[in-house]
Amino acid sequence: MSCTHHACACRACAASQAKNKTENMPKSWVMVLFGGILFGAAFVWPSQTGRLALFVFSYLICGTEVLLRAGTNILRGEWMDENFLMALATVGAFAIGEYPEAAAVMLFYQTGEFFLHWALHRSRRSVRALMELQPQTVLKKNADGWEKADAQTLEKGDIFLVRPGERVALDGVVLAGCSNVDTSALTGESLPRQAGAGSELLAGVIALDGQLEMRALRPYASSAIAKILELVENASAKKTPTERFITRFARYYTPAVVAAAVLTAVLPPLVWPDAQFKTWIYRALIFLVISCPCALVLSVPLGFFGGIGAAARRGILIKGSGSMEGLAKGQTAVFDKTGTLTQGHFSLSGCYPAEGFDRENVLELAAYAESASRHPLALAVVEAYAKPIDRSNVEKVCEEAGRGVSARVNGRDVFVGKFAVQTAKTPFPSEADGATAVLVEVDGKYAGCLTLKDHLKPDAVQTVAELKALGFKQTVLLSGDAATSVRLAAEEAGVDAYYASLLPADKVKKVEQLLAQHSTGGTLLFAGDGINDAPVLARADVGIAMGALGSDAAIEAADVVLTDDKPSKIPQAVALSRFTVQIVKQNIWFALSVKAAVMLMGIFGWANLWEAVFADVGVSVLCVLNSLRPLAFKK
């Protein structure tokens, strides 16, 4: 089979491949059908001339494509590939009068081609399911009512309508209406959830039983589904060490095989008096046929492609086969706290004003200063204030990651952030209950303290337990929060170690220390919510962005993106990656061992060209079919 051609196809853009996913399958069917009919008829044809003609026609129907590719590659100076090996072997077979074997090589080649296209067709089902999420048209609101418009032309702020049974065209917020929505295509979650006024929905979600009027939060190009498709389209672009080895192996393997075949055909008759050229040329042809590296070059990228497609169907977007191999080698799992293992939705548990300030005054100033931030703590403060905020009264907003927010509110300088950041050594309420304490300063003076609480996600404990069951040697929790709240979260989740009061730069240093500690050959996974974690996601062996489809920095930095907030997807991704890598290794060892055995048999005269054909095509088909197993993976 054409290794070079189809290895490239496996890595090609998923979008364009999905559109013509089966265009080669009918051609393979036709070649196999008509080539097989002529091939079978040749054995029962009464005349010798007629038999030869039928073998030749069968050979040309099935083999012209290979001959043309071999000729084109020779003209380009790229002749050392499997097309050249097959062309040389079959032309040589014709030269020594082995017509049935020559035709059989090409017939079974086309049979293998059909199975390959069928396998690719199966492995792309998940990608095609995502492609179907692309919006086509949408009802857009204008001055005269509703008009049909191309969904990809809508901009931020446009209002559009989603009717029962329709997909949400763009990421947006519900203005009016109520409906149960199906998010399974994006998140893998089978249970519908309810959406009403104020709910934010991602593009690709289906409104099941109600009509929703929505306002677009971002244009289509920046929507969740557009980012998902971009990730999947480029998912196979990065080669793993295994794939790079196979590429280098094939580059040197083919010339070595041709040289060995030439020596097999020429040396024995020159050295041994009784050896005949025809016998040893035939054995050299067997060597050429069985040596085609198709099974390796095809099944390795196809195996990873199947694994990436299976992960995408579960709401786990793996950027490439290199990231999948990194997941499979995971030994250390590091988690950010807020928004990763915890829900990231804080609630105000206490407000402690300093002398000269009252509760309402402290909360109001803090809420105004935090109103421009999207940090979970800031959102909780604004939510607790629960009054309209006039942003015209807020000036000179400056947010520093991991430290806090400063702003000028109604003419007063307000800082809301960490106690350790400011020079004032003001005592604050105990965090024994796991609450996070936030400092409020006004005009450089201590104004009070807010305490906010977060809670673990329902599947956080399960996630840590499953990673340990998968053999992870260490689980670690990193957070910028105070030690008490981080310690309580770590104990509840069951992680092995925790580090608190870390700035983003401190997290990077801690990850580097952990990288230096874990054993050679293993990898470190870091999972973060994507708000302040982009540097750590990039530094880790495998960065996992949790529910961060809205964060361009996180998607750019992460190797894996989860389309929802469930950390339990991480052990699923690890288990699927290990299963996929195991299949790739099975293919490599199976193909090499069978080929080596039949090569030796051919040299000693214990195998003929028929057995070589069956062994080559059979090994390729079995490896390709084995590569489909990730699609049926069940945890």
Q: Give the integer Cα–Cα distance in Å for 499 and 486.
A: 8
Q: What is the pLDDT of residue 26?
A: 46
Q: What is the pLDDT of residue 3?
A: 38
Question: CA 416, 418, 421 angle in degrees (round to 5)?
Answer: 105
B/e letters for 84-109, b = 16+ CB within 10 Å, e = fewer, are: bbbbbbbebbbeeebbbbbbbbbbbb
pLDDT in tens, 320-359: 788 899 999 999 999 998 778 988 778 888 888 888 888 8
Q: What is the pLDDT of residue 8?
A: 35
Q: Give the integer Cα–Cα distance in Å for 136 and 204.
A: 11
- Which of 74-83, 144-153, 311-320, 538-547 has the least mean pLDDT? 74-83
| Per-residue DSSP letter, 395 | E
User: Which of 221, 178, 191, 230 has its CA nearest to residue 203?
Assistant: 221
| Higher local confidence (pLDDT), 97 or 525 | 525
pLDDT in tens, 161-200: 998 888 888 889 999 998 888 876 666 555 678 888 888 8
Q: What is the pLDDT of residue 553?
A: 62
Confidence of residue 415 (pLDDT cuts 50, 70, 90): very high
* Other CB atoms within 10 Å distance of the CB of residue 259: 10
pLDDT in tens, 120-164: 666 555 555 555 555 678 888 888 888 888 888 888 899 999 988
Q: What is the pLDDT of residue 436?
A: 78
Confidence of residue 477 (pLDDT cuts 50, 70, 90): very high
Is the pLDDT score of 463 beyond 90? Answer: yes
Cβ(431)–Cβ(451) under 8 Å? yes
Is the pLDDT score of 633 beyond 80? Answer: yes
Please indicate, yes or no, whether the overall pTM of this predicted structure exceeds 0.85: no
Q: What is the pLDDT of residue 126?
A: 53
User: If you average pLDDT over residues 92-111, what whole number do you get?
Assistant: 83
pLDDT in tens, 6-58: 333 333 333 333 333 334 444 567 888 888 899 999 999 999 999 999 999 99
Q: Which domains does the chain show, CATH number per domain?
A: 3-127+235-309+577-632 (no CATH), 136-223 (2.70.150.10), 347-453 (3.40.1110.10)
Within 207-240, where are the H helices?
Answer: 224-233
Positions marked catalytic: 336
Q: Is 102 helix (H, G, I), strand (E, B) or coil?
A: helix
* 64 Cβ contact partners less than 8 Å away, ≥ 6 residues apart: none
Is the pLDDT score of 218 beyond 80? Answer: yes
% of residues, the chain, pLDDT over 70: 80
- Which of 247-256, 366-375, 463-472, 549-558 has the least mean pLDDT? 549-558
DSSP codes, 579-613:
HHHHHHHHHHHHHHHHHHHHHHHHHTTS--HHHHH
Q: What is the pLDDT of residue 578?
A: 96
User: Which of 310, 338, 346, 603 has its CA nearest to residue 452?
Assistant: 346
Is the pLDDT score of 116 beyond 50? Answer: yes
The single-letter code of the amino acid at 527 is A
The single-letter code of the amino acid at 333 is A
Cβ(96)–Cβ(278) under 8 Å? yes
Q: What is the pLDDT of residue 101?
A: 81
Structural tokens at position 94:
């014709």
Conformational region of residue 404, where left means phi above 0, alpha means psi within -120 to 50, and beta covers everything else: left
Q: What is the pLDDT of residue 22?
A: 36
User: Which of 147, 167, 550 has its CA nearest to residue 159?
Assistant: 147
User: If you average pLDDT over residues 456-483, what whole number do you get?
Assistant: 92
Which residues on adjacent β-strands are paired with residue 57? none
Is the pLDDT score of 494 beyond 90? Answer: yes
Q: What is the pLDDT of residue 530?
A: 62
Query: 593, exposed or middle or buried, with CB in 10 Å at 0-12, 13-18, 19+?
Result: exposed
Cβ(18)–Cβ(128) under 8 Å? yes
Q: What is the pLDDT of residue 466?
A: 96
User: If you average pLDDT over residues 230-255, what whole number do you get?
Assistant: 62
User: If you average pLDDT over residues 102-108, what whole number do you get?
Assistant: 84
Q: What is the pLDDT of residue 244?
A: 63
Q: What is the pLDDT of residue 437?
A: 83
Q: What is the pLDDT of residue 191?
A: 63
End-to-end CA distance of the chain: 33
pLDDT in tens, 530-542: 656 778 888 899 9
Alpha carbon of residue 133 to chain centroid: 17
User: If you average pLDDT over residues 396-418, what whole number do you get?
Assistant: 84
569-603 helix and 609-626 helix, angle to the nearest 10 degrees: 180
| Higher local confidence (pLDDT), 207 or 189 | 207
Confidence of residue 520 (pLDDT cuts 50, 70, 90): confident
Q: What is the pLDDT of residue 321?
A: 82
* H/E element, 30: helix 25-44
pLDDT in tens, 273-301: 888 888 898 888 888 777 776 666 667 77
DSSP codes, 151-200:
GGG--TT-EEEE-TTPBP-SSEEEEEE-EEEE-HHHH---S-EEE-TT-E
Q: What is the pLDDT of residue 460?
A: 94
Mean pLDDT taken over the chain: 80
Q: Give the integer Cα–Cα distance in Å for 456 and 340.
A: 9
Q: What is the pLDDT of residue 635?
A: 66
Is the pLDDT score of 598 beyond 80? Answer: yes
The single-letter code of the amino acid at 17 is Q
Q: Give the integer Cα–Cα distance in Å for 382 and 471.
A: 42
Is the pLDDT score of 303 beyond 90? Answer: no
Q: What is the pLDDT of residue 153?
A: 86
Is the pLDDT score of 555 beyond 50? Answer: yes
| Higher local confidence (pLDDT), 574 or 346 | 574
Confidence of residue 233 (pLDDT cuts 50, 70, 90): low
% of residues, the chain, pLDDT over 90: 18
Q: Give the integer Cα–Cα distance in Å for 628 and 616.
A: 19
Q: Give the integer Cα–Cα distance in Å for 544 and 172.
A: 24
